[in-house]
Structure 1
Amino acid sequence: MKALVLAGGKGTRLRPLTHTSAKQLVPIANKPVLQYGLEAIRDAGITSVGIVVGDTAHEVMEAVGDGSRLGLEVTYIPQEAPLGLAHCVLIAREFLGDDPFVMYLGDNFLVGGITGLVDSFLAADYDAQILLTRVAEPQYYGVAELGPDGEIVDLEEKPEHPRSDLAIVGVYTFSPAIHEAVRAIAPSARGELEITDAIGWLIRSGRRVHSHFVSGYWKDTGRLQDMLECNRIVLETIEPGIAGTVDGLSEITGRVIVEPGATVEGSVIRGPAVIGADTKIIDSYVGPYTSIGEGCVLEDTEVEYSIVLGGSAIRGISRLTCSLIGRYVEVTRATRAPNMHQLMVGDHSKVQVPA
């Protein structure tokens, strides 16, 4: 069995961060989202992986390499434009051959892995198996309607009046029959080849399309609040370890990782939290559910429930929370007249300041 991982797309909901960075490489607990998916694929016994890449191909290829570090053999498949999930299957035909495969959206975060999904698919005679989970607001997702034996009888993409609360998770398993389906469908109204249309074609053609339910936790990491929630989930499971340097004036409480080369001076860190390699925490407070990337500097600053990417510096900030700070960002206290905000903000940014 092979795997097809989708790592293209624009990541519009995480702009401006994704103007310069692949959304699949935004870190959760200092590890890229994409890596969690690749590890889940490997743990399910699949080693041959095709990764569909777009505008951020160089960055993805630099992060993953040939896959050997993760125990994988990786082939890169360029996509000229984000033309739909079914289009990814279409352009990956040569790589996939006639093997069954799992298709994994690289910005999905799934706790519990996909071994159960893969094993049940291989044990049955299905042409497609779709991973599902119950959600509170199904109108924002692709939604599946099931028959009495768990078979998929209908699919809807973000319906105004959903017929179920079963959202389609971004992990699928397919037999080679899907190749006929993606060739048979036409682009949707938004000009893309939709995987839901291809699966619908399989259903109408009498193929066996079945459901499988998420056994753990799942999030589509396309929004800030989703990233922070995933970060929280992972940090709750970490094993503490101090590989860096913590001075006698500092206080470390709870599950905290201080990576090699990091230094903590005169500061309080309350876990769960991760302090990246070669980062300096000086006279600061790092609160629960916070990940600080590599090579950062925090000085005279308070931060909690946030993600700070590598190379950034935050100085003199009294309270920073529920935030995602990109790479090589500088956040400092204004030194001019009181009650004044001085900003340099890129396109599609979101800024909250006191009135």
Structure 2
Amino acid sequence: MKALVLSGGSGTRLRPITHTSAKQLVPVANKPVLFYGLEAIAAAGITDVGIIVGDTAPAIEAAVGDGSKFGIKATYIRQLAPLGLAHTVLIAREFLGDDDFVMYLGDNFIVGGIDAIVDEFTGSRPDAQIMLTRVSDPRSFGVAELDPDSGAVRSLEEKPKEPKSDLALVGVYLFTPAIHEAVASLKPSWRGELEITEAIQWLLDNDRTVNSTTITGYWKDTGNVADMLEVNRLVLEGMEQRLDGTVSDDSEIIGRVVVEEGATVAGSRIVGPAIIGAGSSITGSYIGPFTAIDEDCCVDDSEIEYSILMSRVSIRGTRRIEASIIGHDAEVTPAPRVPRAHRLVLGDHSKVQISS
């Protein structure tokens, strides 16, 4: 079995962060979200991985390399325009050959990995297997309708205005080579894309077998700020305390806090779960729960909580930043006036003045 990992999306819902960073490389607990997916694929025993890339190809390729650090062999496949999930299957035809494969959306996060569904698929080998989860507003997803008696998949629809159920497709699909015939039959949808939901519907209409698994565990499409912060919170909650860096005697560490080797904490209070990346300096500051501070950041005389700081961020003399994502090399400094709290989504190399 092979894997096809989709990492070509532009991430419009995460702008301005994604003006300069690939959305799949935005860190969760100081590790790019894409890496969690690659690790899950490797853990399922799949080593031959095609990675679909777009405009951010250089950044993705630099981060993943040949894939050996994940235990996989990475092959990069360029998608010149975002023409849909089914289009990625079309352009990856030579790589996929006649092998079964798993399609994994590179900005999705699934707790527990994909081992169980891969085993289920290989055991029964339907033409397609989809993962479903119940959501409060299915209009933003592909939606499945199941037969109320048998539970079989009856129909699929992409982003319906009037959903037939609350069962959304999770960004993991498993296929036999039968999907290639389905994809070849498609025409662009009203969105101008080749929809994978329509390809799976083609399989259903042509009496092919499509199985579904409804998951009850945690799944997130990390396409917006709120979801990124929520996934960051979840991952941080699973960490154990580890203080490999330097923590001064006048600092207070409470709960599950990770201070990476090379990081320094002086005169500060850190309440976990939180992580301080290698080379970062925390001085005279408060770092609250669910905060991930990446490598080589500087936080001085400031308060931060429930936030993600990407590498080389500098924050000085700032009171109360929360629910924020701050991009690489951003600077936040005091300005004459200050609200009680700040909520920031800053792109790379931003410079913001905030009063102390």
Bin the TM-score by the shorter chain: over 0.9
Q: Does the 8 Å contact 1:150/1:210 carry over to 2?
A: no
Is contact 1:251–1:267 with CA below 8 Å preserved after alignment?
yes
Determine helix, strand or coil for the equivalent of 1:82: coil
The equivalent residue for 1:97 is: 97
Q: CA RMSD in A?
A: 2.0
C-alpha offsets along residues 16-48 of structure 1, whole Å, 9 cap, x if unaligned?
110111000000000000000001111111111
Q: Distance in 1 between matches of 2:41 and 2:285?
A: 39
C-alpha distance after superposition, 1:33-81 (max 9, x if no partner): 0000001111111111000000000000000000001111110001111
Distance between the aligned counterparts of 2:257 and 2:48, measured in 1?
35
Greater than 6 Å deviation, 4+ residue runs? none
Give the aligned partner of residue 57 of structure 1: 57
Structure 2 residue aligned with 1:251: 252
Q: Deviations over 1:232-275 (max 9, x none)?
A: 00000002101100000000010000001000000000000000
| 1:76-225 superposed matches below 5 A | 76-147=76-147, 148-225=149-226
Letter in 2 for 1:84: G
User: Does the CA-based 8 Å contact 1:253-1:271 persist in structure 2?
Assistant: yes
Q: Secondary structure at the match of 1:42?
A: helix
Higher mean alpha-carbon deviation, 306-315 vs 135-144, is at 135-144
Checking the alignment, whether the CA contact within 8 Å between 2:15 and 2:347 is kept in structure 1 is: no
Q: Deviations over 1:284-338 (max 9, x none)?
A: 000000000100000000000000000000011110000000000000111x478
Between the aligned partners of 1:154 and 1:185, the Cα distance in structure 2 is 16
How many Å separate the matches in 2 of 1:338 and 1:174?
54
Q: Which has the higher mean CA deviation after the structures are superposed, 49-58 or 116-125?
A: 116-125
Give the deviation of 1:160 after TM superposition.
Answer: 2.1
TM-score normalised to structure 2 length: 0.94
| Other structure's SS at 2:5 match | strand
Secondary structure of 1:192's match?
coil
TM-score, normalised to structure 1, is 0.94
Is the 1:112–1:215 Cα contact (8 Å) retained in structure 2?
A: no
User: Residue 250 and residue 160 in structure 1: after superposition, are their counterparts in 2 closer, same or farther (change >3 A)?
Assistant: same
Deviation of 1:156 (Å): 1.5
Aligned to 1:306: 307
Task: State the alpha-carbon separation in 1 of the partners of residues 168 and 193 from structure 2.
Answer: 20
> Would the alpha carbon gap of residues 337 and 166 (structure 1) be closer, same or farther in structure 2, given more than 3 Å must change?
closer
1:118 deviates by: 0.6
In the alignment, structure 1 segments of 5+ residues that lack a partner are none
Taking the aligned partners of 2:226 and 2:146, their CA distance within structure 1 comes to 30
Aligned positions, number: 347
Distance 1:309 1:88 in 2: 30
> In the TM superposition, what is the alpha-carbon distance from 1:216 to its structure 2 partner?
2.0
Q: Secondary structure at the match of 2:42?
A: helix
Judge which range, 76-85 or 155-164, deviates more.
155-164
What whole-Å deviation, never above 9, does each CA across 1:142-162 have from its counterpart, x for those lacking one? 110112333211012222221
Aligned partners of 2:157 and 2:198 also within 8 Å: no
* 1:30 counterpart letter in structure 2: N
Letter paired with 2:96: L
Deviation track 1:150-194 (CA, whole Å, cap 9, x = no partner) reads 321101222222111101111000000000111001011121111
Task: Indicate if the aligned counterparts of 1:143 and 1:158 stay in contact, CA closer than 8 A.
Answer: yes
Distance 1:280 1:54 in 2: 35
